Structure 1
Amino acid sequence: MRRLPLRRTVFAALAFSSAACARPSATASTPAATPASGAVRVQDVRTALFDLAADSMQGRRTGTEGGMRAAVYLSGRLRAMGVEPAGDMGYYQVVPIEVDSADPAGRRLRLTTMDALARLPAGRARQAYNVVARIPGSDPALASEAVIVGAHYDHLGIGRAENGDSIYNGADDDASGTVAVLEIARALRARPARRTVILFFATGEEVGMLGTRWYLQHPVVPIEQTAAGLFVEMIGRPDSLAGGPGRGWLTGFDRSTVGASLAAAGVPLVPDPRPAQNFFERSDNTPFARVGVPAHVISSFNLHTDYHHAGDEAGRIDYPHVAALTQAAITAVRTLADGPRPQWNPGGRPAAPR
C-alpha cells in the first residue's frame, strides 16, 4: 500500500521477457494440485508467500533485479496453471521508467515512453514489468466485458538496516495480496466466470502506481468494457475491527453497488473501519476508479507497526487467515464476474484525473 504524502536497455529487458516466457521460473515452487473441493489450502498460500517474500527477491523494488525475479516467478506459476498470457511479451507488460536525474540514489521514478526510454542515458533508463493474464468468460453475452482482479507485487527493496536487516521483504505489503490473486487464478481457471477476468499483478505501486497508470494507457480490455475492479492488499494479519480471522474490509464500501452485492453474497467483508486513513485512494484501485471503473480493495490491514519496515516478514503472517480471506475473495470475484454490472452510487465516483 502506497505511503501517504543496473543499467538495462530496452532490448535487454525484452530479451529477458522473451526468455522468461519460454521456460518456467527456476525459483518457482511447483503448484499443488487444486483440491477436489476447490478450497484454498493453507500450505499453498504459505509456500507461495515465503517464495515471494524471500530475501532472494531483494524486496521486489520496481525496476530492479529483485523485481524482475518476482515477475518471472509469477509468470511461472500462471503458466503452470495453464492461464492464458495477456501481456506484450507473454505474461509481461513492459513498463518504461525514467529515473529522476535529481535523485542520485535512483529511487525516484516516473513513467516515460518506450521511444524516450531508448534515448535516455545509462543511469536513468529502467524497465519494470506488470504481469498480466486472462481467463476468458464462459458466457458469450458477457465475455466481452471484464473484471480486473489485481494486487501489486512490488515493495521497497533494500534500504536502511533495521536490527541488522536491510531487505524490506513486504510479506504483508503485498505478497499476501499477490498470493491471493494467484489462488483466484487457480480457482477461475478450473471454473471460469461469465465475464472475462483479467489477472493483473502490478509493479510500481509503491512509487506512484506506475504499473497501473501504464496499464490504463494500454489495457487488455478497453476501459469502457471493464465492468469492475477488485484488488487485494495486505491480508496477512487479522483485523479485530473487521471481525478477526477470516474476515476483512472493503475500501469505499458504499461508493458503488459492489459493497452491497458482496454483502448479499455472504462475503465476510465490512466497510473500511478506518475511513480517516483514506485507504480507498491509496492503492491500485484508485486510478481505475478515477476513469470510471467501480474498483475497490479487500484488506485486513490492522495498522501493525511492521508496515514499510524490514520486519514485514513471512514468518509473521497468519496463514489460516490468509487462506480463509482468499477463499472469500474468490467468492467476491465470482459475484462481480457473474452478476449485474456494478454501478457507482450517487456521489461515490471519485473525481476524474486532471
Structure 2
Amino acid sequence: MPLIRRLHALNAVVLLSVSACAPAAGPEPAPVQQQAPVRAGTVREDDVRRALYDLAADSMEGRGTGTRGGMRAAVYLAARLQALGVQPAGDFGYFQTVPVAADGPGGRLRLATADELARLRPEQVRQAFNVVARVPGTDPSLGGEAVIVGAHYDHVGIGRAVDGDSIYNGADDDASGTVAVLEVARALAKAPPRRTVILFFATGEEVGMLGTRHYLREPVVPLDSTVAGLFVEMIGRPDSLAGGHGRGWLTGFDRSTMGALLSAAGVPIVVDPRPAQNFFERSDNTPFARMGVPAHVLSSFGIHRDYHQPSDEPETLDYAHMTRVIDAAIHAVRTLADGARPQWNPGGRPAAR
C-alpha cells in the first residue's frame, strides 16, 4: 500500500479506536515494601495499569520498529492522545513519518531520505512512525519556547524463545515511560503550562535512536527554542539505590542545572547511582543533548534481570511505585515549563557528532 494511503488508513483507525483501546487491567502485582513515602498526586493507579497492559500486550508483538506490532502501538497512542484532547503535531495528524530502510531481509535498520526510499525495493522499506502532540504554552512571552517530554514506545519485537515465550513485551522498557508521557499529556491538557510542551513518543530507540534522530531533522519547535528535554525510561520497579518506592534518579544529574532545579522544586529524584553504566548517553535524550538541548532521563531502573527478555511482562511491575514516579514526572515537567531554563554546567554538554 502506498505510504499516503497507509497514513489515511492509520488516521481512520485512530478515529475508530478512541473509545475501544483499553482492555481490562491485569492481575495485581506482588506487594513491595514502601521505603520512602512520597506525597500522593492526581495520577490514578488503575489508569496506569490499564495503559501498561495495553502497550505490553502480546498483541503488540513486542512493538518492533517498522513492524505490524509497532504500527499497532502507534495507532493506540494516537487514539489516546486524541481522546485526551491534545493537539496533533506530526506531519500527518499525530504521526511523524520516520523513513526507515532495511539492508536486506532481517537486516539492520537505518534512517534513509525520502528520495532514497523511493528508489528502494518494497521489501527494503519499513513503515515507522513517531507519535507527536503539542500543548501550547499560555504565556505570551514564553509560549514560543518548548520543553520536550518523551519516551520510546518501541521494543525489540519477537525473537529467540525463552521458556516457550518469544514475544519481548517490554513492559518496563519502555511501556512504563510511554504510559508516563500519556499521563503527562492528560495533566497538561487540563491545565496547560506557560511554555509549550511537545509530547514525543519515539520509535527506533532500540535500533539506533532512529526516531529521535529523524525528529531532530524535522523538529516541531526549532531546537534553538527548545529549552529542555525530559525523557522517561524504565520506571516500573523501585530502585533501592534511589530511595525505593516512588523515587527515581536523573541521568547526568550534574551535567546541567536541571537536576538542581527539579530537586529544589521538590521532585523526588537523586543523582544517577550507577554512573559506570553511562545511562546518560544510552537513551533518546542523548541526540538532543549533543545538539545543545539540556536533556536528561528520569528512571528507576535497578538493573533487573528481565531487561531485554521475554520475561519483561506487565505482571512484574509495581504499579503503586510507578504511579508515584509519574506524579513526580508531571511535577518535573511543570517546573521546566513554568520556571527557569536549565543551563549546561561547565563541561556538562556532550560533544556534538
Number of the residue aligned with 1:128: 128
**Residues 192-271 of structure 1 aligned to structure 2 (within 5 Å):** 192-271=192-271
1:273 is displaced (CA, Å) by 0.2
Write the letter of the residue equivalent to 2:75.
V
Q: What amino acid maps onto 1:105 in structure 2?
A: G
Query: CA offset at residue 122 of structure 1?
Result: 2.0
Query: What per-residue deviation string (whole Å, max 9, x for no partner) do you get for residues 94-121 of structure 1?
Result: 10111013xx324x10000122212211
Instruction: Tell me how far apart the structure 1 counterparts of residues 121 and 333 of structure 2 sit (CA, whole Å).
Output: 43
Separation in structure 2 between the aligned mates of residue 79 and residue 299 of structure 1, nearest angstrom: 27
8 Å CA contact retained: 1:60, 1:154: yes
**Aligned-pair Cα RMSD in Å:** 1.5
- How many Å apart are 1:132 and its aligned residue? 0.2
Amino acid at match of 2:197: V
C-alpha deviation, 1:15, in angstroms: 3.1
The question of whether the paired residues in 2 share the 8 Å contact of 1:24 and 1:75 is answered with no
Does the 8 Å contact 2:285/2:297 carry over to 1?
yes
1:191-243 alpha-carbon deviations (Å, 9 max, x no partner): 11100000000000000000000000000000000000000000001000000
Deviates more, 1:8-17 or 1:114-123: 8-17
Q: Which runs of 4+ in 1 moved over 2 A?
A: 8-27
The alpha carbon displacement at 1:23 in A equals 3.4
The superposition leaves residues 12-36 of structure 1 with CA deviations (integer Å, 9 ceiling, x where unpaired) of: 43233332344335751299xxxxx
Q: Contact 1:38–1:187 at 8 Å: present in 2 too? A: no
Q: Counterpart in 2 of 1:78?
A: 81
Work out the CA distance in 2 between the residues paired with 1:126 and 1:214.
14
- Name the % identity: 70
Counterpart of 1:29 in structure 2: which amino acid? A
1-side partners of 2:197 and 2:106: how far apart? 38
Matched residue, 2:90:
87
1:110 aligns with 2:110: yes
**3-state SS, counterpart of residue 14 of structure 1:** helix
AA matched with 2:8: A
CA distance in 2, matches of 1:209, 1:26: 31
Judge conservation of contact 2:229–2:285 (CA < 8 Å) in 1.
Answer: yes
Q: Find 1:50's aligned residue among 38, 48, 53.
A: 53
DSSP-derived class of the 1:321 partner: helix
Instruction: Report if the CA contact (8 A) 2:23-2:54 is conserved.
Output: no
**Aligned-partner Cα distance in 2 for 1:120–1:27:** 36
Match of 1:14 in 2: 7
**How do 1:157-172 and structure 2 match up within 5 A?**
157-172=157-172
SS at match of 1:23: helix
- Cα distance in structure 2, aligned partners of 1:209 and 1:27: 30
SS at structure 2 position matched to 1:128: strand
Q: Is the 8 A contact 2:231 2:296 kept in 1?
A: yes
Are 1:128 and 1:203, in contact at CA under 8 Å, matched by a contact in 2?
A: yes
**Residue identity in the other structure for 1:91:** Y
Find the residue that maps to 2:17 and give its secondary structure: coil
Q: Which residue of structure 1 lines up, in the alignment, with residue 348 of structure 2?
A: 348
- For residues 38 and 296 of structure 1, the distance between their equivalents in structure 2, rounded to whole angstroms, comes to 23
Rounded to whole Å, the distance in 2 between the matches of 1:26 and 1:65 is 21
The alignment partner of 1:58 has SS state of helix
**What CA distance in whole angstroms lies between the structure 2 residues aligned with 1:105 and 1:26?**
36
- Larger deviation: 155-164 or 119-128? 119-128
In structure 2, the CA distance between the partners of 1:302 and 1:159, relative to structure 1 (3 Å rule), is same
Change (3 A) 1:17 1:113: farther
CA distances 1:275-304 after superposition (whole Å, capped 9, x unpaired): 000000000000000000000000000000
